[in-house]
Amino acid sequence: MSTMMSAMTAFHTTTPHMLKVSKEYARRTLMGGLSGFESPIGLDRHDRIAALKTGDIGFVHSWDINTAVDGPGTRMTVFMSGCPLRCQFCQNPDTWKMRDGQPVYLEAMIDKVARYRDVFQATGGGITFSGGESMMQPAFVSRVFRAAKEMDVHTCLDTAGFLNKNYTDEMIEDIDLCLLDVKAGDEERYKVLTGGMLAPTIAFGKRLAAHHKKIWVRFVLIPGLTDAPENVENIARICESFDGAVEHIDVLPFHQLGRPKWHELRIPYPLEHQKGPSAELKDRVRRQFEAHGFTVF
């Protein structure tokens, strides 16, 4: 393995961070909360597992109302609990374990979407499922999307695509837009960064394209980890394989806003001293994608 790859695996032990008990940390961690959702009471473990499989309940970390962040217009973004990846740059390690989320009734989620229906339609917004990894709970997410489409509400799935096979072709039909995280351009780099495999992400993007779905690709730019010209070129070629479905590529500069959560959970943070990209580096990467004909934000 190259020197660069060896460096990527180096983990640093963290110390308690001053933001741990600050109001700002609490705001970022608890933003949205689960106020207004009805949570199942009295269900034993067996019943909860059965309801999860059918989509009658979903395990939710939090939700938020935002504008032009997780899709077009004003959006209700629901952060689902549970993720199979362990990305070194994860902003939400508190969403990794599904059991740490709160179970929410399907009907309660659909009622919440209906409450904001007029706002969504007035702004061209809708509902976005994020995480964690929302494809860990395909029955719940797809049933909410089906109800949203019946209300003429725009739907958006924010995913790494790693659980490609969890989503059936029928489920894909109810997705209007996918925010697809392409975290690296080759299998070795992807494995080191996330612990997972790249191939399912590519396969899911191609399935979305075959169903004529729109894709916004998201790429986190981390100096020394994802900024290599060959990595960017590989990602551009992956996007080209989606047969025109990519509307634009979001180049997201790495930041340290998620670091307090790693400290709070007492998880060694692998990017403790990592810096964000310079303006020059961001410009270079954007130009690389633009050279392939992509609109870049």
- 3-state DSSP call for residue 11? coil
| Residue 61 near residue 131 (C-beta atoms within 8 A) | yes
- Adjacent-strand bridge partners of 157: 129, 178
pLDDT averaged over every residue in the chain: 89
pLDDT tens digits for range 248-291: 999 999 999 999 999 999 999 999 999 999 999 999 999 999 99
Residue 221 neighbours by CB distance under 10 Å: 19
Which sequence spans correspond to the domains of the chain? Answer: 3-290
Cis amide linkage into residue 132, ω under 30° from 0: yes
Distance CA 133, CA 83 (A): 5
Average pLDDT over residues 71-94: 96
Predicted pLDDT at 5: 44
Q: 226 pLDDT exceeds 70?
A: yes
Q: 174 pLDDT exceeds 90?
A: yes
| Residue 277 near residue 224 (C-beta atoms within 8 A) | no
Distance CA 165, CA 173 (A): 15
Predicted pLDDT at 67: 86
pLDDT tens digits for range 129-143: 999 999 999 999 999
Average pLDDT over residues 38-67: 86
Predicted pLDDT at 43: 72
Q: 31 pLDDT exceeds 80?
A: no
Q: What is the fold, at CATH topology level, of the domain defined by 3-290?
A: TIM Barrel (3.20.20)
Percent of the chain with pLDDT over 70: 88
